[in-house]
């Protein structure tokens, strides 16, 4: 059974796309939101969770422009700004709990890179996040 919010977003997306002209921006894909994305690459390097740590994840809320997730050691969260139809996505600085673990370096790098994101691309259940000057993604996620 589809959730009511999903139906509202899907209907709004269909209405906006049917009214758009060729050069006007389209809304963000509905599946960008409320979807858990698991980190698979950080600056071109494959990422795997160390024993005893969690996989790094990201979820963007469709309701309040907030994001949250699990970094290697800690939960974290912040806000984001999405400019619909442009591929532009920006994150605030992220707040996190303060536990330490063997993957602390990975977590620190991840939480430092996330606010550098300027745009996104979604293709084949993969979310790529880019900085302004980078042709290669800073962060790559798979839908889970």
Name the nearest CA neighbour of 93 among 76, 106, 107, 73: 76
Three-class secondary structure of residue 137 per DSSP? coil
pLDDT at position 17 is 41
DSSP of 67-128, one letter per residue? EEEE-SSSEEEEEEEEETTTTEEEE---EE-----TTHHHHHHHHHHGGG--EEEEETTEEE
What residues contact 125, with CB distance under 8 A and at least 6 apart? 142, 143
Which residue segment(s) compose the domain that 30 sits in?
A: 4-143
pLDDT at position 8 is 45
CA dist 55 and 52 (Å) reads 10
pLDDT at position 27 is 56
Instruction: Tokens for 39, please give them.
Output: 């980190």
The CATH number linked to 73 is 2.40.128.270
The pTM is what?
A: 0.78
Q: What is the mean pLDDT of each run of 10 residues along the chain (144 residues)?
A: 46 42 50 94 92 91 96 96 92 95 92 97 94 94 95
Q: How many domains, the chain?
A: 1
pLDDT at position 31 is 83
Taking the CB of residue 103, how many other CB atoms lie within 10 A of it? 22
Taking the CB of residue 137, how many other CB atoms lie within 10 A of it? 21
């Amino acid at each position: 059974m589809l959730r009511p919010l999903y139906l509202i977003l899907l209907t709004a997306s269909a209405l906006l796309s049917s009214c758009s002209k060729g050069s006007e921006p389209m809304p963000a894909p509905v599946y960008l939101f409320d979807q858990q994305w698991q980190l698979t690459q950080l600056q071109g390097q494959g990422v795997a969770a160390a024993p005893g740590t969690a996989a790094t994840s990201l979820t963007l809320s469709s309701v309040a422009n907030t994001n949250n997730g699990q970094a290697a050691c800690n939960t974290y969260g912040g806000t984001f700004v999405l400019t619909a139809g442009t591929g532009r996505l920006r994150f605030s600085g992220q707040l996190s709990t303060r536990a330490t673990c063997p993957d602390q370096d990975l977590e620190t790098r991840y939480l430092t890179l996330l606010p550098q994101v300027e745009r996104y691309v979604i293709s084949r259940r993969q979310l790529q996040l880019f900085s302004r000057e980078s042709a290669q993604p800073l962060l790559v996620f798979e839908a889970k």
